[in-house]
């Protein structure tokens, strides 16, 4: 069991550091607003994994994946939400203020909720859990629900630490960029591109 959990932990660390929509989103929020806002976003994304873990543990994910209509519906809902977020950033103005003197557009709680919704409406997370977790069950004759939750919580803990590290490092970049006159425009459009990119990612095979 210990050896399997260690292997799972190493694989989870590698996956968390691999460039993907979630850690890129955390990066953009941290650079734009500061480390604490990136950590709030991280907390939201990780919290959403509780639902995906539950769906996988009770076999509901397999049922959802088997229904093309339901799976497509979740994808469309997730993409629409991401496009809405991109529109909100676009509508905010010609520049995105990142200096500490300016009011931040979203609170920590708003970014937390946004992270939760983004994660829940991403069916690829459940698909990933469904493909990744079963390989690390250490007793397939035992209580697999408990094992799935142990793996899920371990994955969430590791991802939170890795993503928070990204947020802290990115926050330092934010402090540097406060002195750059046109950086706000760049990161405004970077956020828009990230949101649209994740929306497109949902429909990739």
Burial class (CB in 10 A: 0-12, 13-18, 19+), 14: exposed
Identify which of 195, 188, 169 has the alpha carbon closest to the alpha carbon of residue 32.
188
pLDDT for the residue numbered 126 = 81
43, HSE (Cβ side, Cα atoms, 13 Å): 12
CA distance 18 to 79: 22
Could you state, in order of their start, the residue ranges of all structural domains in the chain? 21-201
Assess contact for 45 and 125: CB atoms under 8 A: no
For residue 104, the model assigns a pLDDT of 47
CB 21 within 8 A of CB 162: no
Q: What is the largest CA-CA distance in the chain?
A: 61
Q: Token pair for residue 140?
A: 């397939």
Rounded average pLDDT per 10-residue block, the chain, 205 residues: 91 83 86 88 95 89 76 82 82 52 67 92 82 84 90 95 92 68 68 81 73
pTM for the predicted model, two decimal places: 0.76
Residue 49's pLDDT is what? 94
Query: What distance in Å separates the CA atoms of residue 178 and residue 32, rounded to the nearest whole number?
Result: 10
Q: Sign of dihedral through CA atoms 77, 78, 79, 81?
A: positive
- Give the Cβ contact number of residue 88 at 10 Å: 14
Separation between Cα atoms, residue 64 and residue 36, nearest integer Å? 35
CA angle 44, 45, 46 (to 5 degrees): 90
């Amino acid at each position: 069991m210990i050896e399997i959990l260690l292997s799972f932990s190493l694989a989870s660390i590698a996956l968390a550091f691999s460039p993907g929509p979630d850690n890129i989103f955390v990066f953009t929020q941290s650079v734009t607003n500061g480390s604490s806002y990136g950590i709030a976003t991280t907390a939201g994304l990780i919290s959403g994994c509780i639902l995906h873990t539950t769906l996988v543990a009770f076999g509901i994910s397999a049922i959802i994946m088997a229904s093309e209509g339901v799976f497509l519906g979740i994808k469309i809902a997730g993409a629409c939400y991401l496009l809405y977020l991109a529109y909100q950033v676009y509508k905010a103005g010609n520049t995105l203020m990142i200096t500490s003197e300016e009011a931040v557009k979203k609170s920590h709680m708003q970014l937390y909720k946004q992270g939760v919704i983004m994660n829940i409406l991403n069916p690829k997370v459940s698909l990933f859990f469904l493909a990744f977790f079963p390989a690390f069950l250490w007793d397939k004759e035992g209580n697999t629900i408990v094992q799935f939750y142990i793996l899920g919580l371990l994955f969430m803990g590791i991802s939170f630490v890795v993503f928070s590290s990204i947020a802290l490092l990115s926050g330092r970049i934010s402090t540097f960029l406060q002195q750059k006159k046109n950086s706000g425009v760049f990161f405004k459009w970077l956020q828009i591109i990230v949101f649209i990119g994740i929306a497109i990612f949902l429909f990739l095979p």
